[in-house]
Amino acid sequence: MAKVSPAGARALAHLGATDLRLLGQIHGRQFFRLTARGSACFASGEADAAGATPTDVYCPHGNFPSASLPVYDDPAVEIQKSEPGVARVLSLDGFAADGVERVELVRQGDVVASAAVIGNVFSLDVAGIDIARMQLVARDQAGNIVFSRGYPALSS
């Protein structure tokens, strides 16, 4: 069991979580697999001296990981009043199935950010980028695209 902060312990208890297992740590964020109410779930959160605080929890109920959904991405975005139609990414973290080696953020064929998948987790360095009309692309070891999804533009 991973070391969990008091706030993280309260959140996990609220979920009825058990079997918390640390999958990895990237850029001060920790990534976990856990069981909540009988389902496999995934969580990420900030890590500090008090322990992990899993905050972003995803319970796919059997849909992830699968051939049709080998990547779960969790973009944190910010929309400012001064730019109502622009969603800027604060962070883009996620989980990937076995066989996914690299995740890229692509705009009009150009790779904007890229990260290796390590221990089934990834974190793209994308702070401040407008996510509209971007594609998240997952590649296998041979470089083949195994998954892709787009982020739509916001309407202002």
DSSP letter for each residue of 75-126: EEEE--TTSTT--EEEEEEEEE-TT--EEEEEETTEEEEEEE-BTTEEEE--
Check residue 156 and give its pLDDT.
52
Check residue 1 and give its pLDDT.
57
Check residue 36 and give its pLDDT.
86
* Nearest-angstrom CA–CA distance, 25 and 30: 4
* Nearest-angstrom CA–CA distance, 51 and 11: 13
Asked whether 123 and 27 are in contact (CB, 8 A), the reply is: yes
**Within a 13 Å sphere around the CA of 120, how many CA atoms are in the beta-carbon half?**
16
Q: Which of 36, 48, 6, 43 shows the shortest CA–CA distance to 22? A: 43
For the chain, residues with pLDDT lower than 70 are: 1-2, 49, 155-156
Distance of CA 143 to the CA centre of its chain: 21
* Nearest-angstrom CA–CA distance, 42 and 118: 15
Residue with tokens 């702070």: 127
Check residue 110 and give its pLDDT.
95
Q: What is the maximum span of the chain, computed from C-alpha positions, in angstroms?
A: 45
The answer to pTM > 0.95 is no
